Every structure is written in C-alpha cells, then in structure tokens.
Chains A and B, each alone.
Chain A
Amino acid sequence: MLAKVLLALSLVPALALALCQPDGQDAYNVRLSIKTALGANAYEWSESEQFLFRATLAFAMRQYTGQETFNVSSVIVCDETPRVSFWFVVTNPSNTATLIPKNTVEAAIRLSRNRINSAFLLSDKTLQFLGIPPTLAPPSQPSLPVWLIVFGVVMGLVTVGILALIISGFIERKKKEKTIEDEDEEEKQERIMENDISCQTLEGKNGVNNGAYTHDEDRLTQL
C-alpha cells in the first residue's frame, strides 16, 4: 500500500514541479505544531499523514464547490520541512495545468476548517494556514442588555421617590391651609410675623442671640 502511494507520489513531482512553488500566487503555506498540541501523544509526520492531508483538502474543495471531481491528485504539495510545514496548491480537475484561485481555496478551507482540524486532532492555532485567519469565538450576548435592567431599576426607584415627595408635600400644604382656615382671629394674632420671622419659631428658643453684644464664644453656632 505504502509502496503504491510512494510510486504515485513520485510521478507527481515531474508534473507538479512547475505548478507548486513556494510563495506562488495561488499557493498556501501550512504549518503544523503536532508536538505542541499533543505532547506525549504526538504522532510522527509521515507520507501517510501527508496523504490524509491532501484527501481532507480535496474533501473541503468538494464541499465548497459541489463538484465531486476533486481528488487526492488535485492537491499538490511541495517544499516540506522538518518543522512540518509545506506549501500546497490545488489544481483544477478538468484542466490539471491550471490552479484553483487562492480565494476559492481559502473559502473552502474556512468552510470545512473544523473537519480538517479534527482529522489531525489539532486546532486553529496548531494547524496554521498562513494567510487564513482563525475564526475567533464570539462573546456571549444576553438577549436584553444588562445595563438596561439596572437602569430600569434605578429609574423606577427615583420615580417613586419623586412622586412620594411631591404627594407628601401636597398633602402637607393642604393640611396647613385647612388649619389656617379653621383658626379664628385670636389665633391669627398669635401667628404674627416679626421681621419675616414667625414669632412661633422664636418662642421655642430663648430668643435669638445677637453676637455683637456677646463675646462668649459658646453662644456662637459651633461648626
């Protein structure tokens, strides 16, 4: 099995040499960090793994384009390094001399990224397609923004407070007016004003201290 694959692979380079170029216009660089991802359970990168890669990529192209003509042979790999990084291109199944444009390849990979990662037990960070950014996890959004809830609570409290103060002030005023209506002339005399200060307020205290005539510090309002 392995020998057959190796044979097939050995035929490919002759044709693919011209098509697969590092830094080519339609080529992508792939980098795998297997040891970083799996540590002790890391598998060795071999030709079979390479075959699996090409197969998953062909699968991705099939999924995206809907054409079931893509095959393992459509994916050409070159410039492999011990880092486990290599370049690949995808040839057009109907015309093997031409390449599938970069955008299409990118879209196909993004569509099936999860499946490709899973095939190798890796993630977006450890199976890097240089030039295709990984999709980031969106933050969770609650249905109703939290701030509106807090706002509603505070607004409600303030409204209740305002209404309470207005209504109590209104009631107090009505009560005061009633007592003034009820009182007769005698009581009115008692409520006379002296210099804008109701005499009633003066009665409660021992008069008003005029500081000009006392030098006693204690009589002055303390801080």
Chain B
Amino acid sequence: MVEESRPSWENPMQFVLACVSYAVGLGNVWRFPYLCQMHGGGGFLIPYLIMLVVEGLPLFYLELAIGQHMRQGSIGAWSAINPYMGGVGIASVVVSIFLVVYYNVINAWAFWYLFHSFQGTLPWAECPLSSNFTTYVPECEKSSSTDYFWYRETLNISSSIEDHGGIQMGQALCLVLSWMVVYLCVLRGTESTGKVVYFTATFPYLVMIIYLIRGVTLHGALNGLKYMFTPKLSDLAEPKAWIDAATQILFSLGLGCGSLIAFASYNHHNNNFEKQAIVVSLINSATSIFASVVTFSIYGFKATFNYESCLDRTLQSFWIFLKRVMSAGSLQFNIDSYFSIQNTVQTEWTVFNTFFLKMQLLLINTFDLAEDSIKRDNLDDWISHLNASFPDKFATISSQIEVCDLESELDTAVEGTGLAFIVYSEAIKNMGLSQLWSVLYFSMLLMLGIGSMLGNVAAIITPLRDFAFLTRHFQKETLIGMMCLFCCLVGLSFTTRSGNYWFTIFNDYAATFSLLFIVLIEIITVCYVYGLKKFEKDIEVMIGHRPHWYWKIVWSVISPVLIIGLFIFYIADYIMGGTPTYQAWDSNLGKTVTKEHPPFAQAVIGLLLVTSMMCVPLAALVTFIKKKKEQARERKISTTAS
C-alpha cells in the first residue's frame, strides 16, 4: 500500500508567507482605517496594540503550536487533544465553509472592476445618458456616478431583500473565475499554495508603497492624514473603542477558523513557530496601520477635491478670498486696487478671476444686460447699482451660495465594500492616469482576497483529507474540485439582485459570534481540559524551551476573561439592538435607506450562528454515545470470554 508522507512546506519562508497572506486581508484595508477614524484617530492605536499583545499574539501562538504538534487539520487535532472536543474542529470547518462561500464574491467584484478598468474613460467616471439623450439617468444624477456604477451596473441591486431578482450574468461569470483561480492555487496542496503565496503576500505591499508615494503627494492628502491621526484621547474612555480593538485583532489574525492549524500542520516538527507567530502578528498590525495611512491620504484628496469643486460651483470662493484679504487689514472693498496686486499674489488672483467671470455671467443673465457691458473696472459699480435698483432680484442670486464644508466631506466615514468600491474608485477617477491606478488598486484587492481565501480553503481541505475514508476513494484534485464546485454553486446566490443584502448578513453574522465562541472553547480546552503542563511539554519537545510565564498567564487567565467579556457584550448588544436592520438602496432617492430584516432573513441569521456552535456539544454527545456503546460491547466480550 503506497503511503504518502504528509506534504510539507519547501522552506519555513513559505509557511510564514502563507500566514501573512492569510492574515493580511481586506479587513486591514477597509475595517481598520474606519475604526481608527471612529475611535479617536491615532489614539485608537493604544487599545489596538494592547489587545494585540494580550489577546492576538498568545492565541496565534496557541493555534500554531496545536497544528504543528498534532500534524493534522482542525478536526483531527482537536479530537487528538480530547476525544470529546472534536466538535471544535468541526465547528471551525463549518464556519470556514460559510466564510469561503461569501468571501469569494468580493474577489468576483474585484475582478469585475479590474476588467472594467481597461477602458479609455473609467465607466464609473461619468453618468450614462438617458434614452432621449437630453439628461443623465436620474438615479445617477441623484447619487453619483460611482454609486450608480456600484449599485446599478455591478450589483443591479433590488430595493429590498425580499425582491430576489435573477442571477446577474457578469457577477456570476466573475465568481466562477474566482473559484477557478482559487482551485488553481490549491489543487496541488502545499506544493502549489507554497509558490502562490510568494506573490499574494508581497504584491499588495508593492502596490501600497506605490499608492503611499502617490497618495501623500496628492493635493489635500495632508487634510485626511491630519484628520485621522489627530488623537482624540477622550474617545478612549468609551468601552466601544476597546471592544472594537479586541474584535478587530481576533478577526484580523483569522483565529478560530482552523486555517492556522492547517498551515502549521505541514511544518517540520521542530520549526520555531514562536518567533514566526510574533513576526506574523506584528506584520499584520503594521500593515493595518500602513494601509490606514494610504487610505486617509486618499480620503483627504477626495474630500479636498469635492470641497474645491463645491467652491468652484458657488460664489463662496469670492467670500473666502475677500475674508482673507480683508483680514490682512489694508484694503477697503475696491475692486480696482485688487488688480494692482495681480502679479504678486497669483493664487488669490486666480480665485478672484474665476469669481469675476461667474459674477459677470450671473449678473448678465439675471438682469438681461448686454454681454460686454460688465467689465472688470465697472463690476463694482454694477453690483451696487443692481443691488440698489433691483434688491429683490439681487437677493435671489445671493441665496445661490451652497455651503461647502471640508469637515463634513472628511466625516463621511465608510468601511467595507463601500470604502473599497465606491470611495476609492471615486478618488481614482480624479487622479491622472486613472486606468493605471485602477488596475493596480483592484489587483491589490484581488491578491489580498485570494491570499485569505487560500487559508480558509486549506482550513476545509486539510481536515477532510485527514479522513482516510475520503483520501482512499477520491484523488486530491477531485476532492478539492468538488468542494470548490459546491461552494461556487452556493455562492451564485450572492450574485442575484438581492445578493448584496445576503452578503451583508453573512459578513456580519457568519464568522463573528461563532468565532468568538470557538476561540473561547479552544483556549479553555487547551488550558483546563488538556492541561497547561502537558501543553508546555509539547512545546518544549518542538522548539526546545518552555513558553515564557507571560504566555501561560495570558492563556489561562487574561484571554479567557477578555473573550468572555466580548461574548457578553455581543449578546447584550444583540438583545438591546432590537430587530436587525440593513441598508437598502432606493433607486428613486439615489441613496440607502434603513429597513428591517424580514422573518426569513432573521431565521437565516439564527441558523448561521447555531449550526456552527452546535457542533461542539453535538460532537461531544456523539463521542459520548459511541464510547458508551464500545464499553458495553467490551463488557459483553469479556463476560462471554470468561
């Protein structure tokens, strides 16, 4: 019988890059900057780093230790730790299945945007025209061209979650492609994954560096950076900041899914995972901070661009110019004298010139004057004459000034797909060479997404391949292929018109609460069921020294307490939150409205939470029953023998 030795990474670097590629994902780019903004800018780093040291690092270390020691996927590893705790592994696999099904849809969107970047003008830069070619499509005019491209041309979103609509062909094709790419990367196991991660782990950094250099040189970037990094330490008094920091660390490192156990199971028995755990966790956090710098310089650019466009459209630029010069104190309101400073104050001059042309047109059209009647040297006289002669008519145009506010532009804090696909694409369309930036950006999103997918797929495949039954009857490629096909078919439901609403449900509920539960059970099992002393000895066998007392204290006391606290908070939040709601897109208004989830959606939410968590007690029960049966059989044999 041909026994295949367990495959392994070609060198430790592949393992580290695989972990980095898995941990550094879309959350670093679109969740962390949002949290920073919400919780006091630079001050948020304090709870974040504390949680990293107290919660993230120790748990990461723990999972790597388990995987490397047991040399099996999550189901086998937890069954080996304690026969009753195999359910933890099964729960991890279930959560990972939910995760891969909805996560790959993001890659599909990234592909869609990437393919659409190869055009002369980016399709989200302009609104399409209505059928009679006189105006733009009303939905686009009311919202914006980037909103329209996302909600209408990409998702073709329906107005509520009940309205299913059909499968969108473009989305479905991109999803199939995403799954084929994932299959290509994992079908040979570590042999193929190990090579792919060289690219998926490093390419995003290359793009982020390029974006950083471009971003900080963009006009207005400093506004965004100042806004984000100004620490508002008062925000730290709020418990929400600490809770968000704790959950962000947990989910960002990808704990509880079984991916780390899977990756570590392919290591050599004496691999120094302690150093690697520290390195990967630090790289993950550093990447989050790095990504926020890039995101906020882009934010600042976009906000400043919108603010200055607003100023251009209105006469407000004149009033600002006036205030600036008046505050210099010297001159009275005399337009002639402003012309004398033309050569010295160039920027102010441009502002004033723009104002003059606007003012000229406005006055000519409102009062039906001859085109060339208002010149620069008589603008002053005209304004006073018209104001005196036609005060009512003059009042109508002075009320045309819309208020332009830079703070409110920066305040639009966005996270998730909204940030990645709407805000960023809006900023990109205003940069020079926008096609190039667009291609770079969406390729980066793709690499981040695929890197995380590889980890989650490994979390499913590795335990499945540990089952001798499956390995005997199915070739590796067939098994992986069937899994990818199944997930792809289920994922097609996210490409329907209401698919984005279902996506949000999965995003918010499938891998949040359940993961907290799994991690809590994991840490209690290792410390109290398996025994901390036994665990210490296992680590000593692997890396040659016992873990430092700090790790032991955190594992046994601090982390469980923290996670129980998070648990309680989530439950309290859910109970007090009332009916869960979602943001639905209203095509008539051109913006999102809040709607309540219908009962069947709430049922799905409940199912998502229950199916994964129930695996733990159910598996324990099944093992218990099996053991009882075995004991009964053995007693029968021994009695018949005697």
Contact = CB atoms under 8 A, between A and B. Distances in A.
B3 A196 contact: yes
A220 B259 CA distance: 24
Contacts of A101: none
26 contacts: A34-B371, A36-B371, A82-B369, A83-B369, A135-B134, A136-B129, A136-B135, A139-B128, A147-B115, A148-B115, A151-B111, A151-B174, A151-B177, A158-B181, A158-B184, A162-B183, A162-B184, A165-B192, A169-B188, A197-B5, A198-B3, A201-B5, A210-B541, A221-B268, A223-B16, A223-B279
A94 interface: no
Contacts of B111: 151, 154
Contacts of B271: 221
A196 B268 contact: no
A84 B370 contact: yes
A201 B6 CA distance: 11
Interface stretch (A48-56, A57-65, A68-76, A211-219): A211-219
B371 A35 contact: yes
A115 interface: no
A161 B184 contact: yes
Contacts of B364: 83
A165 B188 contact: yes
Interface in B343-397: 364-365, 367-373
B544 A136 contact: no
Contacts of B12: 221-223
A196 B371 contact: no
Interface stretch (B116-124, B226-234, B314-322): B116-124
B270 A211 contact: yes
B2 to A, nearest CB: 6
Nearest to A176: B2
Interface of B: 2-3, 5-6, 12-13, 16, 111-112, 114-116, 118-119, 121, 126, 128-129, 133-136, 170, 173-174, 177, 180-181, 183-184, 187-188, 192, 268-272, 275-276, 279, 364-365, 367-373, 475-477, 540-544
A6 interface: no
A138 interface: yes
Contacts of A81: 368-369
Interface residues of A, number: 50
A31 interface: yes
Contacts of A134: 134
Contact of A158 (B177, B268, B276): B177
Nearest to A130: B365
Contacts of B268: 208, 221
A165 B187 contact: yes
A172 to B, nearest CB: 10
Given A83-B364, A161-B184, A198-B3, A166 B477 contact: yes
A117 interface: no
Nearest to B370: A82
A169, A173, A209, A223 pick with most chain B CB within 10 angstroms: A223
Nearest to B176: A155
B360 to A, nearest CB: 10
A162 B183 CA distance: 8
A123 interface: no
Contact of B115 (A36, A136, A150, A215): A150
Contacts of A212: 540-541, 544
Given A220-B272, A223-B275, A147 B3 contact: no
B614 to A, nearest CB: 33
B272 A180 contact: no
Determine which residue in A83, A147, A154, A159 has the highest number of CB atoms from chain B within 10 A of its CB, and name it: A147
A193 interface: yes
Nearest to B123: A147
A133 interface: yes
A144 to B, nearest CB: 12
Given A135-B133, A161-B184, A162-B180, 10 more contacts: A35-B372, A133-B134, A135-B134, A139-B128, A147-B170, A158-B181, A169-B187, A208-B270, A212-B541, A221-B12
A146 interface: yes
A146 B118 contact: yes
Contacts of B272: 220-223
